[in-house]
Amino acid sequence: QSVLTQPPSVSAAPGQKVTISCAGSSSNIANNYVSWYQQIPGTAPKLLIYDSNKRPSGIPDRFSGSKSGTSATLGITGLQTGDEADYYCGTWDSSLSAWVFGGGTKLTVL
């Protein structure tokens, strides 16, 4: 059971928009930055969003992040088949003194 809760799967058609939620608590998301990672099967995770809403260089602006209270959201617009992957949120948990990840969300582009 992950400390951060994500939906197991989401799906949408090419060109559409999808959001992936990440629910936490006052000891993690509410008081710390959230980051998001994309993992294509068989490869290492890749940083998509850091500091809750910033994109590293090279990440297209189709990807966005937001945070409100104890939840965070990853948004992807203009879906492409290449976006099919597992997506993970993560943050520091101040009570556990540990980094925590969500359970991951599998994105299917229909």
Partner 1 sequence: QVQLQESGPGLVKPSQTLSLTCAVSGDSITSGGYSWSWIRQPPGKGLEWIGHIYYSGDTYYNPSLKSRLSISIHSSKNQFSLNLSSVTAADTAVYYCARSHHGDFFNSWGQGTLVTVSS
Assess 53 for contact with partner 1 (CB under 8 A).
Answer: no
Give the tokens for residue 11.
């799906």
Assess 33 for contact with partner 1 (CB under 8 A).
Answer: yes
Quote the least distance from Cβ 62 to partner 1, whole Å.
19
Please, what is the end-to-end C-alpha distance for the chain in angstroms? 28
Residue 5: name the closest of 97, 88, 82 by CA.
88
Residue 34: name the closest of 108, 109, 88 by CA.
88
Quote the least distance from Cβ 15 to partner 1, whole Å.
29
Assess 5 for contact with partner 1 (CB under 8 A).
Answer: no
Contact 65, 36 (CB under 8 A): yes
Q: Which is nearer to partner 1, 15 or 47 (CB)?
A: 47
Binding site for partner 1 (CB under 8 A): 2, 32-33, 35, 37, 39, 43-47, 50-51, 56, 88, 90, 92, 96-104
